Chains A and B, each alone.
Chain A
Amino acid sequence: MSTVVAENEAPVTAEIISVLSAGVIVEPPHDLSMEISVPNFGGYFHLELTDLDDSEIEDGRVVVRAAVDTNATMILTLLGESDQEGFHTKRFSFGFESAEKTPESDFRLATLRAALSLSNETRLVASGLGLDHLFRLNEPLRDISDMLKLRQTMYQLMVIERATRRRFKVPSFIQGEDMETISFLFHAITERAFGWPFEGTLTVSYEASKDLAIRLEQVNQSPDFSYPFSQHKSLFGVEISLGLGAITIINKYIENFEQVLVELRMNDGHTVALKVGSRIGLAHYNMRDAPRLPAKVWNEDLQILINMEGQLDAALVERYNALAASTLEGLNDEERAAITERPHLGEEAFVD
């Protein structure tokens, strides 16, 4: 599992549903802001305009930049015609870029972009530019899904940053190994006790003693194996300590158990390695000393964006469900059964 961080991607063209104001630019705007409202998510984005490039206005192109935050910018490209009255916007497209990739910036960008993509009808108002349009974006479902995945990853990184008081620079491509680390740290911070895939074996070293052999025989009666340990993780070059915790290997097996007992019974203090694995590839971690997320850690506007998760998820799932249903659209029950019947091979196909 890995994820690509959105970075200065190709712009997305908006399909204009209706023009509420003609959008004539006759001079540099006085009102240096833009408001994008997404009614079906019950919110709006207020962005400050940072730049207006009208050097190509005669060729029918004006580029407006608006700050999503101090790092991230939305680029609104207006395409239209110039005449004596000014510039008339006919079409527009959105692009996004960030100067430095940080979890919060990318979270804000991903949320804005997902909201624009999933809203049935979005209103863009930039009074200073005379713009008031209703529009929708037609992005592929897979791209929106990836955007929400990215949004979740950035949220998890924000949680880790706030809990550990560290800051991360996010690479353009997050490797699968780092994705697993992000997820592990997020679970440790937010849940503390959680299940996690466990492949391979845990090696524990003991000094050979008869008492230990007896204890180990007792321990082996249990289906699981618990062991205290301190956990450290490295993420984007930053070392993070999760403190002392415990791992419980579920449905355990011990490699060469009888041989280990023989070694322990030698009672001579020599080092004996015990290797424990899970038959079902599962361990439970209890990270009781992991860093904690402070209370009321998000400011109000960030909290609003965080709270949009359920609505964004539901809107995308609804689109997928509709697409799945469209694959059998117009068929009656009998026709549906026929077209979805699983293919059969004749008996002779399986003769050795």
Chain B
Amino acid sequence: MPLAPPLAETTLVVDTDLFTHWRNHHPYVLDQVANYFRNLKEFPALTSMTVFEAISGIEKELVKGKITEEQAHRYRARIEELSNSMTQLAFDKASATIAAYIYQRLAQSERNKHWRDIFIAATALGHGYGIATTNRRDFELIADHLPDSNSILRLAVWKQ
């Protein structure tokens, strides 16, 4: 049973979808973030993969000419301020080792679909964190291929 629910004391990272919903002010995320802070007196963490995805979106729109350099500068600065206000988990050696283990045990089509979440899950596991997500199924597949050293993935499903 590699997937397990988080405990009251489990610190979590938010996956990229939840982070996007938070940025879009979705009420269910606002409630969950408030509950999380009430219990743990800290905000959920971000993985470096999610920070990459958030900034990558800004760069993509800038390269396409959809936003101006001034806008890009402003949005980058706000992502930086927000991520600096949260715990950021780096994709370090422990995370890389876990990611490599999972990655090589997935089929090519699964890697293609889940590579971003593999990095998020591996980073969370490497730092002893659980994951908050909207989509349990995405992480079930990953949890089926965890190494013995990190055999339990604690998953909180925050529903819309």
Question: How far in angstroms is the closest Cβ of chain A from B135?
Answer: 12
Q: A326 to B60, alpha carbons, bound, how many Å?
A: 19
For chain B residues 97-156, which have a beta carbon within 8 Å of chain A? 108, 111-112, 115-116, 152, 154
Question: How far in angstroms is the closest Cβ of chain B from A181?
Answer: 12
Interface string of A300-320 (1 = CB under 8 A from B): 000000000010011011001
Question: How far in angstroms is the closest Cβ of chain B from A23?
Answer: 34
For chain B residues 8-33, which have a beta carbon within 8 Å of chain A? 8-11, 16, 20, 22-25, 30, 33
Interface string of B26-66 (1 = CB under 8 A from A): 00001001100110011100000000111011101100001
Q: Are B41 and A148 in contact (CB under 8 A)?
A: yes
Among A6-14, A162-170, A213-221, A338-346, the stretch in contact with B: A338-346
Q: Report A-chain residues with C-beta under 8 Å of the C-beta of B1.
A: 251, 279-280
Q: A253 to B111, alpha carbons, bound, how many Å?
A: 32
Q: Report B-chain residues with C-beta under 8 Å of the C-beta of A340.
A: 20, 23-24, 54, 57
Interface residue A328 (Cβ < 8 Å from any Cβ of B): yes
Q: Are A281 and B67 in contact (CB under 8 A)?
A: no
Q: Report B-chain residues with C-beta under 8 Å of the C-beta of A196.
A: 7, 9
How many residues does chain A have at the interface if contact means C-beta atoms less than 8 Å apart? 47
Task: Using A148-B41, A343-B56 as known contacts, say yes or no to A350 and B112 having CB atoms under 8 A apart.
Answer: yes
Q: Are B25 and A338 in contact (CB under 8 A)?
A: no
Task: Using A141-B85, A323-B82, A327-B75 as known contacts, say yes or no to A342 and B16 having CB atoms under 8 A apart.
Answer: yes
| Chain B residues in the interface with A (C-beta under 8 A) | 1, 4-5, 7-11, 16, 20, 22-25, 30, 33-34, 37-38, 41-43, 52-54, 56-58, 60-61, 66-67, 71, 75, 78-79, 81-82, 84-86, 108, 111-112, 115-116, 152, 154
Q: Which residue in chain A gives the minimum CB-CB distance to B36?
A: A317
Contact of A345 among B4, B37, B115 (CB under 8 A): B115
Question: How far in angstroms is the closest Cβ of chain A from B3?
Answer: 9
Which of A1, A280, A282 gathers most chain B CB within 10 Å?
A280
Q: Lowest 7 A-B CB distances belong to which pairs?
A: A280-B4, A141-B85, A149-B41, A152-B41, A340-B20, A339-B57, A327-B78
Q: A196 to B10, alpha carbons, bound, how many Å?
A: 10
Q: Are B75 and A323 in contact (CB under 8 A)?
A: no
Q: Are B79 and A342 in contact (CB under 8 A)?
A: no
Q: Report B-chain residues with C-beta under 8 Å of the C-beta of A352.
A: 108
Q: Are A325 and B85 in contact (CB under 8 A)?
A: no
Q: Are B57 and A335 in contact (CB under 8 A)?
A: no
Q: Report B-chain residues with C-beta under 8 Å of the C-beta of A232.
A: none
Q: Could you name 22 residue pairs across A and B whose Cβ atoms are closer than 8 Å?
A: A145-B41, A195-B7, A196-B7, A197-B7, A197-B10, A280-B152, A282-B4, A314-B34, A316-B37, A320-B33, A323-B82, A326-B78, A327-B54, A327-B75, A328-B23, A335-B66, A339-B57, A340-B23, A340-B54, A340-B57, A341-B60, A343-B53
